[in-house]
Structure 1
C-alpha cells in the first residue's frame, strides 16, 4: 500500500534554505508534519530558530536544527553542507524581492537579487548534489522555488533571475539524470495562500518520478 502523508518522509533528512519565513517556513512545517527531520537554514539565526521551535517533532526519529547560511557565499554554503549529512530532499526557498521596475532599478538592487536568488540557488544545488554523489546516495530531490514571472514573461526584475534558474534546472537535470538523481523545480508567486497550496502540492508528490505541471 502507499505511504500515508504522515509517515512517508520519516527517517529522511531535509534541508530548506530561506526557512526562517514565508514559503520556506511553510515548506519546513509541511516536511516536519510528514515525518522528516528538517534543517532550517536562513541568513537570520533568530528567524531560523523561530521556525525550528514551532515544527512538529513527535514522529519517530525526528530531530530538527536551525542553521545560519548566506546562500550567496560559497564558503557559507560549504560550511553548512559539510556540517550535515547529505539531505535526501533539499528545497531552495531563499530569495529576496526588490520591487523595482527596469527603468528605476538601482544597480545594487539588481546585483543583490542575482547574488541571492540565482547564485544562491546554484551554490546550494551544486553543493548538495556533490554531497549526494560522494556518499553514493541512490536518489535525492533538489527543488527550487521560483517566481511564476520567469514563465509568464512579465516585465519585472525577476525575469533574468528566473530564466537563469530554469536554464540551470535543465542543465543540472540532465547532468543529475546520469547518476540517478532527481532534480525538480517548483514555481510560486508571492507569498499568498493560493501560492502556498499550489507550491506544496507540487513539492510533496514524492513518487520517485519526475513530473511536469502547469500553472493554472
Structure 2
C-alpha cells in the first residue's frame, strides 16, 4: 500500500508548521484532514491545499472524547486514517520555579497526552489494515534541554520515548512510528512567547546563535522531513528521532 489517495490526519494543522505539513502531504496525493482548535483556520488551510478530498474541523487533542469524535468524523467522510501527524503543541517561556501545576497540566495535556489520545484512536485500525504511518513532532528541547521550557522539554521527551516504544509494539503490522524534532523555528508561536519576556529579542538572538547554521528553522524546513517519514519510501524506518535544527543537535 502507498499513501497515494490515502487519508492523513494532521493535528495543529492550522499552525505554521502544521499548515506546511498539510501542503506537503496534499502534494503527495493524500486527502488531508486538518484538525485544529480553530475550526475556521483549519477549514481555510484545507481549502488552500492542492487536490481534492481535504477537510478542516475543530478538535482539542487534550480531550479524548473530542479526538474520538474527530477520528470518527474523518473515517465516516474520508475513510480510516492512514497517516497521523501530531503537530499540535503549546508552551510559554517561564522558569520552572515560576510555573504552577495548572501550567504543567496544560503543557502535558497538549504536548504529550494529545499524542496518546490520537494514537489510541487510530492505531487499532492501522493494525487491522496492516499499514500506517505515525509521525510525532517533538522538539530538540527533548534532546538537549531548553532553558525556560523545562516542562515542555519533559513532555516532548515523553513523546520521543512513547514513540520508540509504540514503534516496537506495532512494527510487525507494518505500522511505523517516528519523531521529527524541530529546533527553534521562526513561527508566530515562538515570537509570541518571546514577546512575553522583558528581553525577548535578545533571547531569540541567543537561540539563533546557538544554531551552527546561524538561523532559525522555517516551517518549510520541517515539512519535508515529516512528509518523507509519512511516505511509502520510509517503510523500513521506525522508532527513529530526526532533528531538523541546523545542527543544534547532532547524532
TM-score w.r.t. length of structure 2: 0.75
Specify the SS of the correspondent of 1:194.
coil
1:46-57 matches, cutoff 5 A = 46-57=40-51
Shift of 1:94: 0.7
The answer to whether the Cα contact below 8 Å between 1:9 and 1:31 also exists between their aligned partners in 2 is no
Specify the SS of the correspondent of 2:85.
strand
Q: Counterpart in 2 of 1:94?
A: 88
Q: Counterpart in 2 of 1:152?
A: 144
CA distance in 1: counterparts of 2:85 and 2:156, whole angstroms: 16
Structure 1 outlier segments of 4+, above 3 Å: 211-215
The answer to whether the Cα contact below 8 Å between 1:189 and 1:195 also exists between their aligned partners in 2 is no
Q: Counterpart in 1 of 2:225?
A: 202
Q: Counterpart in 2 of 1:38?
A: 32
The answer to whether the Cα contact below 8 Å between 2:181 and 2:243 also exists between their aligned partners in 1 is no
TM-score w.r.t. length of structure 1: 0.86
Q: Counterpart in 1 of 2:67?
A: 77
The answer to whether the Cα contact below 8 Å between 1:21 and 1:51 also exists between their aligned partners in 2 is no
CA distance in 2: counterparts of 1:137 and 1:126, whole angstroms: 15
Shift of 1:72: 0.7
Shift of 1:195: 4.4
The answer to whether the Cα contact below 8 Å between 2:138 and 2:180 also exists between their aligned partners in 1 is yes
1:1-216 matches, cutoff 5 A = 9-57=3-51, 62-83=52-73, 84=75, 85-133=79-127, 136-155=128-147, 156-157=149-150, 158-192=152-186, 194-205=217-228, 206=231, 207=233, 208-210=235-237, 212=240, 213=242, 216=247
Kindly provide the CA deviation profile for residues 62-84 of structure 1, in whole angstroms up to 9, marking residues without a partner as x. Answer: 31111211111111111111222
The answer to whether the Cα contact below 8 Å between 2:137 and 2:180 also exists between their aligned partners in 1 is yes
Relative contact order, CA 8 A, sep 6+: which one is greater?
Answer: 2
User: Structure 1 regions of 5+ residues with no counterpart?
Assistant: 1-7
CA distance in 2: counterparts of 1:51 and 1:214, whole angstroms: 26
Instruction: Provide the alpha-carbon RMSD of the alignment.
Output: 1.9
Alignment length (residue pairs):
203
Looking at CA atoms only, which structure, 1 or 2, has the larger radius of gyration? Answer: 2
